[in-house]
């Protein structure tokens, strides 16, 4: 790879983040490795968590919101009888209980958490309160008040050995889910293992180990590992247009078009000669660009 190619790469990497590394550190490692101008991630993983961390390069950063909105899947292990200040093994023990739930009690309780639920994010989280991160306030010993929010748990199953698998909506905190589950069972609890196994169409089986980059295992051809920008747009209808229409969209202009099967307000991925041109909003016999790609 020459320097110019590294600086202008576009696409996605499906990274398997190891435990003990922050999501920001992963971005820094890959930005340095590829000498890329613009790199971002789609959804923070706790430092102690591992698993799928989608990384966007260049023009792919314009699609991060679509990956952030995607459903996510996790596996996690709970230690019963101890609540910690952070909701995971990193924090100090703040409450204890001698009650250890049985497998039958756990199975009976799970249905209470299926569907739309109210959840309060943990104090040690990246949520902003008056412009400051909650975890910064918590580390300063200040009282952190975070409003509860609605999230959706599509599936929650017990795998045995105090380990669970769940599929959930964006904004779900697994640490909070574990805390609430423990309380419902009449005890305390915190997360000791957290693995994200899927984000949208990025799964753990195809994720690339971060060490492969950190240890310079990949040399020639590492750009071939990148997935296309539109990888995260698989559930958005595609519209093909002419070169002339593509030129207008690139200039931010609205074009006349009546796409069949789409209604006003829909979003469509517009292509010309197989190349992604823009994300457009469908209007009344028109489409107008909301995101234009320089690919």
Token digits of residue 170? 């964006």
Residue 189 sits at φ, ψ, to 5 deg, of -170, 160
Which residue's structure tokens are 């789609």?
42
**Which are the contacts of 207, defined by CB distance < 8 A and separation ≥ 6?**
14, 15, 16, 51, 52
Task: Tally the C-alpha atoms within 13 A of residue 180's C-alpha that lie toward its C-beta.
Answer: 19
Which of these, 187, 205, 185, 183, lies nearest to 195 by C-alpha position? 205
Q: Is 46 annotated in the active site?
A: yes
Backbone dihedral angles phi then psi of residue 69, each to the nearest 5 degrees? -80, -10
By the 8 A CB rule, do 51 and 71 touch? no
Place of tokens 């017990």: 158
CB-count exposure of residue 1 (10 Å: 0-12, 13-18, 19+): middle
Classify residue 175 as left (phi > 0), alpha (psi -120 to 50) or beta: alpha
CA distance 179 to 91: 13
* Contact in structure between 288 and 281 (CB atoms under 8 Å): yes
Of 46, 88, 162, 180, which one is the catalytic site residue? 46
Cα–Cα distance for residue pair 159/36, rounded to 1 Å: 41
The runs of H, that is alpha helices, within 205-264 are 211-214, 243-250
Burial label, 120 (beta-carbon count in 10 A; 0-12, 13-18, 19+): middle
* Residues with catalytic function: 46
């Amino acid at each position: 790879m020459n320097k110019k190619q590294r600086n202008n790469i576009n696409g996605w990497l499906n990274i398997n983040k190891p435990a003990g590394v922050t999501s920001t550190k992963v971005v820094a490692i890959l930005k340095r490795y590829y000498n890329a101008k613009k790199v971002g991630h789609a959804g923070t993983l706790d430092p102690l968590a591992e698993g799928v961390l989608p990384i966007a390069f260049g023009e792919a950063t314009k699609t991060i919101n679509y990956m952030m909105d995607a459903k996510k899947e996790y596996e996690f292990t709970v230690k019963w009888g101890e609540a910690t200040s952070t909701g995971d093994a990193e924090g100090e023990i703040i409450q204890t209980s001698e009650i250890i739930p049985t497998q039958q009690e756990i199975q009976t309780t799970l249905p209470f958490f299926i569907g739309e639920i109210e959840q309060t994010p943990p104090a040690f989280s990246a949520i902003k309160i008056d412009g400051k991160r909650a975890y910064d306030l918590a580390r300063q010993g200040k009282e952190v008040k975070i409003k509860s929010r609605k999230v959706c748990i599509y599936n929650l199953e017990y795998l045995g050995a105090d380990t669970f698998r769940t599929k959930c909506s964006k904004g779900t905190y697994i640490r909070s889910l574990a805390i609430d589950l423990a309380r419902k069972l009449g005890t305390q609890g915190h997360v000791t293992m957290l693995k994200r196994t899927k984000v949208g169409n990025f799964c753990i089986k195809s994720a690339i180990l971060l060490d492969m980059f950190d240890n310079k295992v990949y040399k020639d051809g590492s750009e071939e590992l990148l997935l296309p920008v539109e990888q995260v747009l698989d559930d958005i209808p595609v519209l093909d247009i002419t070169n002339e229409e593509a030129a207008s969209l690139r200039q931010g202009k609205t074009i006349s078009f009546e796409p069949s099967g789409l209604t006003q307000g829909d979003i469509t991925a517009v292509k010309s000669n197989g190349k992604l041109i823009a994300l457009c909003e469908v209007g009344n016999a028109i489409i107008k660009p909301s995101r234009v790609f320089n690919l």
